[in-house]
Structures are given as structure tokens and as C-alpha cells.
Amino acid sequence: MRQTEQILGGMGNIEDAEVTVSVPVRERCKDLILSDETIAELMRRIMKDVEKGLCKDTHKEAVVKCFITYVQDLPNGTERGEFLALDLGGTNFRVLLIHLGQNHFDMQSKIYAIPQSIMVGTGEQLFDHIAECLANFMKEHDVYSHKLPLGFTFSFPLQQLGLTKGLLETWTKGFKCSGVVGNDVVQLLKDAIRRRGDIQIQVCAILNDTTGTLMSCAWKNHNCRIGLIVGTGCNVCYVEKTENCELFDGNTNKPDCIVNTEWGAFGSDGALDIVITEYDREIDENSINPGKQLFEKMISGMYMGELVRLALVRLTKDNLLFGGKLSDHLLKRGNFFTKYVSEIESDKRGSFLNCREVLGELGLSHATEQDCANVRYICECVSRRAAHLVSAGIAVLINKMKEPSLTVGVDGSVYRFHPHFHDLMVEKIKQLILPGIKFDLMLSEDGSGRGAALVAAVACREN
């Protein structure tokens, strides 16, 4: 009972509701509640894996890769001028034009589709399409004849070899363009621009969305040292001392370098076995990448709703929910959306308005008030476990950096839309960090767009 109260800390106890959670459901959800001892052990394991990723001798077999980004300078407010950003990470991509002035940020952007035929065509076709859209965008915004710096957010697995050099490791998200894997995507973009011969663009940096989040927040808050994404996926980057980055081969005169941890992979060597539940195992077994990205699968929006669905199905089969009656809708994989978790937890105590609406959509109109209380409790256990896992990782980085005060820039749909995720993280991180350290969480504004332009702006400032 004490642990249950702890996981609901600050949100009001479930007992405040008119209908209490049934004892058998509470008992069955204990596996989803992380004790202080378990979190402390997970923190030790995360720290060990981060150090493995940074170390030259252990990097190759490291689960948490801690890739070097080659971004060594953060915005300081003196960046000025016009910059382009290109954000490619799915079936659409964005082009942005950003004007930086003194305390002034003006941004114009446009979304372009990538036809299915191009997604599975050649790399040349893909980058020619991107270059054509870039040229059209520059015409529309009267910068066609300008030579502009560009930051390129590329949200696919990338082995970075420099600020402007990155080799594609593998395509994901339905892309299968030939001639790109193993090649430098910056060079492929430059080649496409050169083939056109009508626009002048200087590609200043390639980055992923966590680095963009950190940079975007650092422009407003110079104390930002961590960039976190908790959305469809989950990843984090942070500012590390260059001397600790053993694989770094850039400018060692600069004291810092942003490291992209790729911590979603944590646990693929068994490090998460102490907290894995039957629901996590089922999600992993039915995923497109079994045995991989286990930490991400316990946290991110891609899986949170499905975790709840699996728990609901199991407890209904055991006659603890809905009078033992399942619906066809609930039995179908992926039908309990992560947004349902946020909606159900947004209900005021004693009210099950959203919960009833969600259950109605799932063919469970026969749910009782007791069922609604139980469903909300299951949602709370899953989302709070996610918040506490993220918090454990963030606390590891804060303790490692030993800064007296810092800001964590955060983006992603789970953090942005879940009604309690921010508060749960703040409360848990406070418990886990070393005495005397101050921190705050800051919602990022368009890390993948604005952040990319800022990396380009900082690179131009330094040059």
C-alpha cells in the first residue's frame, strides 16, 4: 500500500475517488510499481552502460551507444541572421526559414509530402525531391538568390563522423531508398543541390531530434544541458566533458560535446529483467524488433496504450474486470491508443466521463463504476512507471554532470499531453538527485526545426 501511495504522489490518492480500486486489481498491478530499491539498482545499471558507451574499449559491445554529435557549442544569444532547417523523419518533411535577431525569433515553414514511390525508390530520387522542394520554398520566401546556412535534422539511425558527416546505418519508418545505407546523407543532399545548380546552400550540421530539443531550449535558457524526447520514441542527449568522450576526434580545445545516448536500447542485455512484466514481454515478442529498444518499449507513446490493453485483457480473462466479458475491439492489438491513457487520467476524481467514453468506443459499455476505477488505476500504474523510468535515467545524467543548477529541455507527445507526466518527473527526479543540485524541466518549442537552425547558427557564429 505504501508503494502504491508513493507512485500516485502529488496526484491525489486513488482512494479519494468515490469508488475505490478493488484489492485483487491492486495486487495484480504491483509488478508495475517500482520500489526505491529497484530504481536505485536501475540507476547503477544505466550509469554503467553510459560509461561503457563513452569508453573506446567497450563502445563496440555497449548497449547504450552514447554517440558523439560533434556539437560543442550552445546558443549564447548573439546568433544573428537567416537560416534554413530541413527536418526529415517520416513520410513528410519540413523546410523552415528562421530569422534570428536580438531577442527575436521569426519562423516560417512548409510541410512537403514524400510519395510512396520515392520512399522505396533510389536515394538520388529522394534527395532530388528534397532539393526541388527546398528550391521552391526559397522562391516562395524570396531568398532564392541568397546563400543560406542549413541545419539538417535526420531522424534515422546515423553513425556520425563529424558535424556535417553522417552515415545512414539502416532505413526505418517504411523507407527503403537504395544507395543510401552506409553513405553520407549530407553529401547526398549536397550532390542533389549541385545537380540542380540553381540554389546556394551551406549545410552546416546534421543532428537528431534530441540535440535539436537541447539547442532549442538553450537559446531561451542558457542553463539547458539535457535534451529529452518522450513521444512515439524515447531518447536523450546531454552535454559531456570532451575528455570523457574517448571516441571524439574533433576539437579537444573545447571543453564540452553533446552526446546522443540512444538510451532506448537500454535493457537488451538483460539489465531490465528486474522490472520486466508479462505485458512487456508480450509487447516485445510482437514488435518488429524483438529483444531491442526495451527501455523505450516500457516508456514511449508507441507502446503505452498497448501495455494498458494487455493488462485489461489479462485481468478480464481472470474475471477481475468487466464481469469477465471481453469485446472484440479490446482483443485487437493496438486498439487502446496511448491518448486514451491521458484522457482517462484527465478525469476529475469521482468522475469517469472520459473513461466511460473510451470504454464505449471499445465496446465495453457494460463497465461498472468499479471497472472504471480499476481501469484508471491500471492507466496510472503504467504511465507512472514510464515517468519513473525516465526520471531514473535523467537523475543519472544530472548526478554525473554535477552542475549545481541545470535545465532539462523536453519534447514529445507523452510529456506534452499526459496530464501528470511533468509533475511525476519533477517529484521523482528531486528524490533521486544529489543534495544541493537544482533543476527544472522546460517544454521545447520545435526542437527538430528550430533546433536544427540553431545548430547551423552556432556553427556560423563559431566560424
CA 213, CA 447: separation in Å to the nearest integer? 4
Could you confirm whether 241 is annotated as catalytic? no
From the CB of residue 248, how many other CB atoms can be counted at a distance below 10 Å? 20
Written as nine digits, the cell of 95 is 523546410
Bridge-based pairing state of the strands 224-230 and 67-68: unpaired
User: Catalytic residue among 30, 56, 139, 173, which?
Assistant: 173
The C-alpha torsion from 392 through 427 and 406 to 436, rounded to 10°, is -100
Amino acid residing at 215? M
User: Catalytic residue among 49, 184, 209, 347, which?
Assistant: 209
Angle at 205 between CA 204 and CA 211, to 5 degrees: 145
Alpha helices for 141-235 (secondary structure H): 185-196, 209-220
In order of 125, 126, 127, 134, 159, the CA distances from 179 in angstroms are: 10, 11, 11, 21, 16
Burial per residue of 192-222, b for 16 or more beta-carbon CB atoms within 10 angstroms, e otherwise? bbeeeeebebbbbbbbbbbbbbbbbbbbbee
CA 141, CA 303: separation in Å to the nearest integer? 40
Give Cα 292 distance to the centre of its chain. Answer: 16
CA 62, CA 64: separation in Å to the nearest integer? 6
Kindly report the backbone phi and psi dihedral angles of residue 128, in degrees, each rounded to the nearest multiple of 5, phi listed first.
Answer: -65, -40
Could you confirm whether 400 is annotated as catalytic? no
Listed in sequence order, the residues at least 6 apart from 463 whose beta carbon sits closer than 8 Å to its beta carbon are none
Strand partners, 238: 226, 259
Q: Which residues are known to be catalytic?
A: 173, 209
